[in-house]
Structure 1
Amino acid sequence: MLVLSAQIRSVTGPHRADNQDSAASADRWVLVADGVGGHAGGDVASTTIVQVLRSLLQGREVTSLDAESLRDLVARANARMGSQAAQDPALRGMSTTFTGVVCSEGEALVAHIGDSRAYLVSEGLGRRVTRDDSLVQELVDSGAISEGQAHGHPHRNVITRSLSGSDRDAHDLTVLSVPLRAGDRWLVASDGLTDYVQDKVALGILARTPDPAGAADALVAAALERGSRDNVTVAVADVVSVVSAPGGPGEVVGAAATAASQQ
């Protein structure tokens, strides 16, 4: 049986009053959400998506999950966020990015919207799995700017898709299937990391650091050393073979953890 051995970290950026990122992990999945742009309710948006999805995933056998089933779970979490906004005028306009990796039977399902990213190191080769839903990515795709120019572009934080509680959001969600292999290492991260640490640097840290905890700590440190002004959230997960799934509630960090501690 293949499961994830994951470590997650979330730190409030040095120029942020609060942390609007949320993340969660368990032996079958890692989830990262980044409340958009400091907008009203960004912390509530990321918390809702992560908490609701966590509850839904814990309540079912994820080894039988397929792409459309995962899309439906995200849609249900998104609808919960929409209900919150409808009931509280202060939360209207809230939204969040979301990227999650869920282990199903023989495959990793990667759900993605916005500019939080998923990376994979497999058999010594590292790559970015997701494509940003952003203005800068569209400029790269059109040939207007290069990948190198994109990294420091002044509009790199402008995203074109997010979860906002709207019915259409689930249709904008990208769900990918990647073969699940023992020995692979996944990284899911908010833009507090990826806006400041280039892909080759992040992938190098993933490849040379022996354990997920050390890799997660090194990635956060790299972002802060490079002057990240944003909240930095990372989930590093190794695919490991076990006789039986360890189970357990997993871990929650960031805004979702703060909200849980206040309940």
Structure 2
Amino acid sequence: MEPSGSLTLRYAVATDVGRRRDANEDSVYTSPRLLAVADGMGGHVAGEVASSAAVAAVTEFDRRLAEDTVEESLADALAGMVGDAVRRLGNLVEEDPLLQGMGTTLTALLWDGTRFLVAHVGDSRAYRLRDGVLEQITRDHTVVQELVDQGRITPEVAMTHPSRSVLTRALQSGGEAEPDIFAVEARAGDRYLICSDGLSDVVPAELLTEVLTTVEDPEATVAKLVEIANAGGGPDNITCIVGDIA
């Protein structure tokens, strides 16, 4: 499958260990068809293993897209990709029981030339900047997001809540793949950001909007976002993809 339509996608990616972590447990994948961020967890090397397994599933799915061997609908195929990631995690735990309990987020955007199909599990985020307005198009699968939805805390309080990283959904061995899958229609001039919480937990939406609005080049944009997250303490690994539609 090659993207078709009059719109084009240009993208850039950056990933950084941050200021306080010894290893980068984020994994990232980019191609003209598929953009994905995975943020692993589990301690020691398990987080890195988990996110790498998720991206291996993304890579295999993109290979099938390139070879045009995807027979089901793209939405079903994306769900299958997430299921493949869970199976890979299970296989790794069978090989090494010390990896038990590892998990990862996964946020992937599939570009077909006119829209993105999104598969999302966890709290890595996708945003869209359109006409100067930044909108988070994914919903965090976190305890804190549920508190916001219930009206018990405000989004501003959620930014610094001590439980903001406690997930209600993630990809884990032996778990169920429960991705949010939805389509987002694209327009020329749209700018998309996919990132791990090492960016979104540190850089407020107002500053994200400012950078995405004022820095035009995608490579310069992702570099600036990483710089700002590190200037804010860099408490976690930082990964971001910026995709521009023209």
TM-score under structure 2 length normalisation: 0.90
Deviations 1:16-50 (A, max 9, x none): 11010000111112100000263661100000111
Aligned-pair CA distance for 1:123: 3.3
3-state SS of 1:59 partner: helix
Deviations 1:161-198 (A, max 9, x none): 10013351x2x210121002232111000000011111
**Superposition map of 1:24-103 within 5 A:** 24-36=29-41, 38=43, 41-60=46-65, 61=68, 66-103=74-111
Q: Which residue of 1 aligns with 2:28?
A: 23
Q: Which residue of 2 aligns with 1:260?
A: none
Deviations 1:126-179 (A, max 9, x none): 2110110001111111111111111011111111110013351x2x21012100
In 1, distance between residues paired with 2:44 and 2:8? 36
**Superposition map of 1:1-263 within 5 A:** 1=5, 2-36=7-41, 38=43, 41-60=46-65, 61=68, 66-104=74-112, 106-168=114-176, 170=177, 172-240=178-246
3-state SS of 2:104 partner: coil
More contact order relative to length (CA 8 Å, sep ≥ 6): 1
Counting matched residue pairs gives 238
Which amino acid in 2 is paired with 1:42?
Answer: G
TM-score under structure 1 length normalisation: 0.85
3-state SS of 2:172 partner: coil
Which amino acid in 1 is paired with 2:163?
Answer: H
* 5+ long unaligned stretches in structure 1: 241-263
* 5+ long unaligned stretches in structure 2: none
For the structure 1 residues 40 and 92, does the alpha-carbon distance in structure 2 shift closer, same or farther, using more than 3 Å as the test? farther
Give yes or no for contact 1:40–1:94 (8 Å, CA) kept in 2: no
Percent identity of equivalent pairs: 38
Structure 1 stretch displaced more, 35-44 or 5-14: 35-44
Which amino acid in 2 is paired with 1:115?
Answer: D
Give yes or no for contact 2:8–2:113 (8 Å, CA) kept in 1: no
In 2, distance between residues paired with 1:181 and 1:196? 29
Q: CA RMSD in A?
A: 1.9
Which amino acid in 2 is paired with 1:117?
Answer: R
Aligned-pair CA distance for 1:104: 2.4
Give yes or no for contact 1:3–1:28 (8 Å, CA) kept in 2: no
In 1, distance between residues paired with 2:45 and 2:206? 34
